[in-house]
Structure 1
Amino acid sequence: MFPLILTYLVLTIIRPQDYLPGLVGVPVLPAVLVLAFVAWLASGQRTWAAPQFIILPVFLVVLMISQVTNGWTGGALDELIKFGPTVIAFWIFATGCTTRRHVVIGMAVFVLCAMVLAMHGVGQAAAGVGWTGVPLGDDGRIQYVGIFNDPNDLGLLFAATLPMAFYLSRRGGMLGRLFWLSGALLLLYAVYLTNSRGALLAVLVVAGGYVWYRRGVVTAGVLGVIGLTCLKILSSRMQELDVDEESALGRVDAWYSGLHMFMSHPLFGVGAGNFTEYNELTAHNSFVLVLAETGFIGFMLWLAFVGYCFWMMLTVLRFKPQFGDDEAMAEEWRKERAIALTLLLVLCGLFAAAFFLSRSYMIVLYLLAAMVAGYYTGARQRFPNLPAFELSRGGWRWVPAAMGGVATLFVLVSVLLRTAG
């Protein structure tokens, strides 16, 4: 099961089926997922110990309902076909990541795949075209094939895998550390080549989160200001980071339109994938996109899915077990905390970038979330005193949390529009 889902992960990111002549048109990705699903069903390792295992299929149902309530009954089947594989991949990958060893292997595969795309980008920037046949963008930004054709998506992947590369560089011997550290530097350079403002800010958030955890909020704040200044010097697009800049105005207008879509369709939204039917530009914000397309119900579920991921990793970092003089158990717990910190920084980078991109349904987001949910499930097996998260006991909290999230988006957009005016 686990090797099959790792193969699915590799095919999802590197995507040889999109450019190798012998694989183009061959349903390699669905075939591998079906095999992994069959192996998962037969493994007996299925678990529903994390709320995300339940939330995600319910969110799929909401996606289907959002199409029906907007007059397209056949859209329910369309959403099942499009998002159903994501739910299955999440279940399988999360189930496979319950051991620390498997989590580390998953991290390594993620980073190696990201490094392949980064090397493609470096070659593309130098020669004008990559080995996939995809040329450099007209604006000089690197791009890949398939779901990574947009430089912003590449930047999101690089920013999210960067903490994993640094974590892996602290393991193993000298050569292993050198390899993973070189990979981290390659990913940083690739982020620069994407010239994605969201990805650059995500890298800054990851670095700030780590400094905050290690040195406190004041140090993180000071270094954050310095880092933002450096980014504005290094990146031409970061120099345009202003509410009055044309691209920024377009984003704010899209957010404003998304909130109006929500107000006109408050329960189930305007339908998954229908944002651009009401606005010329996409939402350029994953939270606004979910709110507009799936309404309050979908937004609450998606916020809970994301929120539980952050909450789980923070719980591990804040938990203080008592081991007495048992140094072996204390060392095991230090290993748990190191992985939890890495995954928390991954989430910070991922959703910092996603806040400026419409990537609410992107498969990579859910595979990364699967690592988080699977890891916490396994951590509770290794340390039973870790608190359990159950929808039956605390799920009601996400109703007021979603209300607060909606109110925050309204206030943010109102402030930005007034500032632009």
Structure 2
Amino acid sequence: MVSTIAGLVAAGIVGAALVAFALLRPTIILVLAVTLDATGLNGVLVTNGLPSPFKPMLGLVLLALFVLWRQGKLKVGWSPVLTALLILVAAWFVTMFNSADPATSWTLFMDYANGLLYFVVIYALLCSTGSWKAMLSGAVAGLAVIAALTLVHQFVLHNAGDLHGLSNVPLTLEDGALTPRHSGTAGDVNFWARTLVLVTPLALSLWAINRGLTKLFWVGCALALLGGIFLTQSRGGFLAVMPAIALWFVMAGPKHRRMLAYAPLLLIVAIPISGVGSRLATLADVGASSNIAAADPSLVTRARLQEAAWRMFLDSPAFGHGMGTYGSLFPQYDRYSNQGDPVTIVVAAHNFYLEQAADGGLVLLAAWAIFFGSILFVSWRVSNLARSIGRRTEHVLAVGVASGLVGWLGASVFLHLSDFRVLLMLAATAAALDVRVRWAVASAPDSAFVQIPRAKSPVDVRKWAPRVLLPAAGLVALLAAALVVKAIPTTYTATTDAQITPSSAANDWLTSYQRDLLTRGWLVPSMTYVASAPDFESVVARRAGLTQEQADHMSVTMEVSRQGGAITITANARDETVAENLAVAAGLVIADDIKTLRTPYVLQQPRRPSAVPTHPGMVAGLGAAAFALVLATAAAVARRRPADEVEEIDEYEDDRELVGV
């Protein structure tokens, strides 16, 4: 017992020392947080019965930012990527106002919100430390090691086991495939391929900026990533990685551009040996009507899913049906749904662009175009500025970011959005590179860079946060308030009293006790209990003639008065007439049930009630609005904080020195 306690204390001391050491070197925290998330190791630890380190690492990142803030070293700047991301969030809000499934849209938005928090803290730490090379090295090397494990798993271990979740093989041989399909640490082979495609150009960038044995290491990483893509047997991955690599060699510079001359010879040798050509040839079968029966079933199903997405877009081309609603709307648009042909793969469009068009229409497509365009634009700007001031590392990394994004966009023709945080990692890298390189240009001598656009100097977050972040948070809270009011529909409540009375009005003293309800208080509750069977609501819904959708959003309750023969019926629905019909139907059902008891009592049918509207979303909306007002007030007060007064006093003292006081 004593030894166990001593061990725990020692482990606590060592852990605290490691955390303190990492806080003094925030690059360590940055590399660990991004590497664990990008490689999927967080999920692997969970599958092996261990807790996920994602939230603890996120907490460490926030703690590191707090330490940098206290030290006055937390410096951030603005980039077009951030503006584009705000536009994307605004587009999500717009699509949610018109959502056909508000609950699903809100759940997806909250999932994306977690990714946005991840983006913000990673971006802030990148801007403050400039450790993009270390961060990307950790993520790329981690993915390359896992890709190399999949090669060992296939060709050495012959796919025995799953290496504790590090090398999953969810699919066996498919049409045109030469090997079982590997998904690494991911659950889907195609998503794993898209992640590898995204980082392969970054591996080339790390190869270009290193020397000696380190250069050989990154060559090995690039080859391992390509081998991992091959083992996925993902047609989208094959088609996307080739233009991504070609674009990297074109943009990296003349020396690397000349290497493209060997590309045709390499492809002529590699494609027949690898069998990639036979796998890609299966794509042509879907387009030929004569071969549709023999085509790859997964491709036929994907075409079916994409046709439904296209029809959804045509029905609402401007704003779509609401983010995340494709899955719930698919049965209504699938022309095979009534023919006993269920979809055997994930119900998604399997095309990023079609699914976003179905969910958000042209508005959401335009927002995504702005977001992707901003990443490409700042990558181009960083590349030019970095070359102008002789910073080759930033230039080559920007080329890797742009090429990786092009590869991701190409693979997304066959996939929907899933790896959002990996995409945000790329966006945060581009934005941080843009800000830091423009800061470097701004600090350079004027005579050397006349034609280069300049940026403002770094902004101290301690001054920037109250004036920008708090009003922005208030605006988001107001939008959330409006969204809550919109998402939670108005409910109508109809309440009426139904009276139980003796079946005969004759005053027969011999049966007066038997018919008495006032002194026998258990009678009405007993009859009500019998009437409120488990299927009471469904019987009432059928009696009222409700559709299935209306029945899914209704409720009927009863309260008994022990002081008399009254039963209070309360019906709730999203339509005024439906609520009133429910109350009447409930009275009829109770009356029928009482008749079946063969008692000397009947239920006097109540008058048709008038439904009263209630607004459950209004309370939440007003709460969010109140929160926004508090933030706005805090921002207004912060504008007059003592720090500003100190600055004014310092300026006054400078004036006194000038006049010799």
Shorter-chain TM band: 0.7 to 0.9
Q: Residues 334-353 of structure 1 correspond to what in structure 2 (within 5 A)?
A: 334-353=392-411
> What is the alpha-carbon distance in structure 1 between the residues aligned to residue 67 and residue 44 of structure 2?
33
- The aligned residue for residue 294 of structure 1 is 360
Q: Does 1:194 align with 2:260?
A: no
- Map 1:167-316; keep pairs closer than 5 Å: 167-213=205-251, 223=263, 227=267, 230-231=270-271, 234-235=275-276, 236-242=278-284, 243-244=287-288, 245-246=295-296, 247-279=298-330, 281-316=347-382
Q: Which residue of 76, 84, 107 corresponds with 2:136?
A: 107
Paired residue type of 2:326: F
Change in Cα spacing, 1:207 to 1:365, as seen in structure 2 (3 Å) is same
For the aligned residue pairs, the C-alpha RMSD in angstroms reads 3.5
Identify which range, 285-294 or 188-197, moves more after superposition.
285-294
How big is the shift at 1:320? Answer: 9.5
Distance in 2, Cα, partners of 1:105 & 1:170: 15
Gaps of 5+ in 1: 323-328, 390-421
Task: Indicate the SS of the match to 2:111.
Answer: helix
Q: In structure 2, do the counterparts of structure 1 residues 174 and 219 end up closer, same or farther at CA, with 3 Å as the change threshold? A: closer
How much has 1:291 moved relative to structure 2? 1.8
Q: What secondary structure is seen at the aligned counterpart in 2 of 1:383?
A: helix
Q: Which has the higher contact order (CA 8 A, sep 6+)?
A: 1
Shift of 1:222: 10
CA distance in 1, matches of 2:217, 2:259: 30
What letter corresponds to residue 171 of structure 2 in structure 1? D
Q: Deviations over 1:147-199 (max 9, x none)?
A: x2111122112222112222222344422112121111111111111111111
**SS across alignment from 1:143:** coil
Q: Which amino acid is the alignment partner of residue 236 of structure 2?
A: G
Higher alpha-carbon Rg: 2
Alpha-carbon distance between aligned partners in 2 of 1:271 and 1:166, rounded to the nearest angstrom: 39
Q: Deviations over 1:269-319 (max 9, x none)?
A: 222222233335422222222221122222221111111111122234456
- Partner of 2:76, secondary structure, is coil
Alignment of 1:8-87 (within 5 A): 8-20=33-45, 24=49, 26-37=51-62, 39-40=64-65, 43-44=68-69, 45=74, 47=76, 49-75=78-104, 77-87=106-116
User: 1:232 and 1:96 mapped to 2: Cα distance?
Assistant: 46
Rounded to whole Å, the distance in 1 between the matches of 2:218 and 2:262 is 28
Give the CA deviation at 1:239: 2.7
Residue 439 of structure 2 contacts residue 455 of structure 2 at CA under 8 Å; is this kept in 1? no
Structure 2 counterpart of 1:311, one-letter code: F
> Which residue of structure 1 lines up, in the alignment, with residue 199 of structure 2?
161
Task: Give the alignment partner of residue 379 of structure 1, picking from 425, 437, 445.
Answer: 437
Distance 2:418 2:454 in 1: 28
**TM-aligned CA deviation for residue 49 of structure 1:** 0.9
Report if the CA contact (8 A) 1:16-1:23 is conserved.
no
Q: Deviations over 1:191-250 (max 9, x none)?
A: 111111111122211222134445799996995698389547622422323234545454
Instruction: State the shift of 1:367 in Å.
Output: 1.1
Contact in 2 for aligned 1:169/1:181 (Cα 8 Å): yes
2:175 matched residue in structure 1: none
Does the aligned pair in 2 maintain the 1:154–1:194 contact within 8 Å? Answer: yes
Which whole-Å CA distance do the structure 1 matches of 2:163 and 2:215 have between them?
A: 28
Once the two structures are overlaid, the 10-residue window that deviates more, 186-195 or 207-216, is 207-216
Partner of 2:147: 118
> Deviation of residue 368 (structure 1)?
1.3
Q: Counting strand residues as a fraction of each chain, which structure ranks higher?
A: 2
Q: Distance in 2 between matches of 1:336 and 1:21?
A: 36
Q: Is the Cα–Cα contact under 8 Å of residues 208 and 396 in structure 2 kept in the other structure?
A: no
SS of the aligned residue for 2:170 comes to: coil
Counterpart contact for 1:18–1:24, Cα < 8 Å: no
Percent identical among aligned pairs is: 19
Which residue matches 1:408? none
Residue type at the aligned position of 2:163: W
| Pair 158,228 (structure 1): closer, same or farther in 2 beyond 3 Å | farther
Q: 1:314 and 1:285, CA in 2 relative to 1: closer, same or farther beyond 3 A?
A: same
Deviation at residue 17 of structure 1 after TM alignment: 4.2
Partners of 2:370 and 2:455 in 1: CA distance:
15
The 5-angstrom pairing of residues 122-161 of structure 1 reads 122-125=151-154, 126-128=157-159, 129-133=161-165, 135-139=168-172, 140-145=180-185, 148-161=186-199
Residue 91 to residue 217, structure 1, CA distance change in 2 (3 Å): same
| Contact map agreement 1:52 1:305 (CA 8 A) in 2 | yes
Q: Shift in Å at residue 104 of structure 1?
A: 0.8
8 A contact 1:271–1:293 mirrored in 2: yes
With 250-259 and 178-187 compared, the bigger mean Cα shift is at 250-259
The letter of the residue matching 1:136 is V
Distance in 2 between residues matched to 1:116 and 1:193, nearest whole Å: 14
Distance 1:362 1:321 in 2: 31
Q: Does the 8 A contact of 2:104 with 2:325 survive in 1?
A: no
User: How has the CA–CA distance of structure 1 residues 320 and 382 changed in structure 2, closer, same or farther, with 3 Å as cutoff?
Assistant: closer
Matched letter for residue 152 of structure 1: N
Give the Å deviation of 1:10.
Answer: 2.4
Residue equivalent to 1:404: none
Distance 1:56 1:300 in 2: 12
User: Could you tell me whether the CA contact under 8 Å between 1:262 and 1:269 is conserved in 2?
Assistant: yes
Aligned pairs for 1:405-420 (under 5 A) are none
Distance in 1, matches of 2:430 and 2:57, equals 22
Q: Tell me: CA distance 1:228–1:316, structure 2 relative to 1, closer, same or farther (3 Å).
A: farther
Alignment check: 8 A CA contact 1:64 1:79 kept = no
Give the 3 Å change call, closer, same or farther, for CA 223–10 of structure 1 in structure 2: closer
Q: Contact conserved, 2:441 with 2:454, CA < 8 A, in 1? A: no
Q: 1:219 to 1:91 in 2, by over 3 A?
A: same
Distance 2:455 2:366 in 1: 20
Cα distance in 1 for residues equivalent to 2:148 and 2:387: 43
